[in-house]
Amino acid sequence: MIPLKDDVPSRRVPYVNLSIIGVCLAVFAATAGAGLNRTIADWGVVPASFLTLPAAGMALKILTATFIHASWLHVLGNMLFLWIFGDNVEDAMGHVRYLVFYLLTGTIAFVIYVLINAQSKLPLVGASGAISGVLGAYFMLYPKAKVWTMLFIFFIFAPVPLPAVLFLGVWFLLQALSESLVYTGGQGGGVAFAAHLGGFVAGMLLVPLFLRRRTEQTT
């Protein structure tokens, strides 16, 4: 399922969301090429060594890994989801709270992945853990929103409006199924499904703490 747009208009310019998208694209453009693998190895989160780092080192690794991507498909796919869902979550939280929420849920997603895959020596990069947190928040805030989704129906690609609760619910179930296949010995294609699940649940649980106060919403 590929989301195309939703029907919830932004009330304010989502400065933070747009800045995150811009930084992710700029970082990938700057690192793409022969040196990308070295960048990922140096600045990605490697579970096997992550917990041996000092706290400052852990924080730095998570921050840098969140803004690094492994391919154009990786970064563009992540930014598409952030573009569609992030502006409305930023509306509900405000700029500063949204930035803190984004980084916090991303951190939780990385930590959960590290704890589950503690022996892995493969570096993990990408914004999908933090974006999953945004999806979890959107799931709670805008369940009745319509998400226009590109579906493959009878050999035809067709845009179909789906309730956000259905789109995101199916997305979450697909992540859980994929993680279960990886856990039982299947191939995950290098995708950190555990981070997606952790970020989504963190977003659902933390969103009430980051919402604008009523007085802020009416100004």
Q: What is the pLDDT of residues 64-81, one digit of tens each?
A: 999 999 999 999 999 999
- What DSSP character marks residue 146? E
Average pLDDT on 149-175 reads 88
Average pLDDT on 132-159 reads 90
> Is 132's pLDDT higher than 70?
yes
Average pLDDT on 125-145 reads 97
| Residues in the chain, overall count | 219
Residue 125 and residue 69 in contact, taking contact as beta carbons nearer than 8 Å: yes
Q: What is the mean pLDDT of the chain?
A: 91
Which domains are seen in the chain, by residue range?
A: 2-217 (1.20.1540.10)
pLDDT band at 214; cut points 50, 70, 90: low
Record the pTM.
0.91
Determine which of 15-19, 30-34, 36-40 has the lowest per-residue pLDDT on average: 30-34
Q: What is the pLDDT of residues 143-153, one digit of tens each?
A: 999 999 988 77
For the chain, where are the alpha helices, taking DSSP H only? 15-31, 36-43, 47-50, 55-66, 72-93, 95-116, 128-141, 164-183, 193-210, 214-217
pLDDT band at 186; cut points 50, 70, 90: very low
Average pLDDT on 156-185 reads 86
Which percentage of the chain shows pLDDT scores above 70? 92
pLDDT band at 138; cut points 50, 70, 90: very high
Sign of CA dihedral 200, 79, 217, 100: positive
* pLDDT at residue 190, rounded to an integer: 64
Average pLDDT on 9-22 reads 95
Average pLDDT on 122-151 reads 95
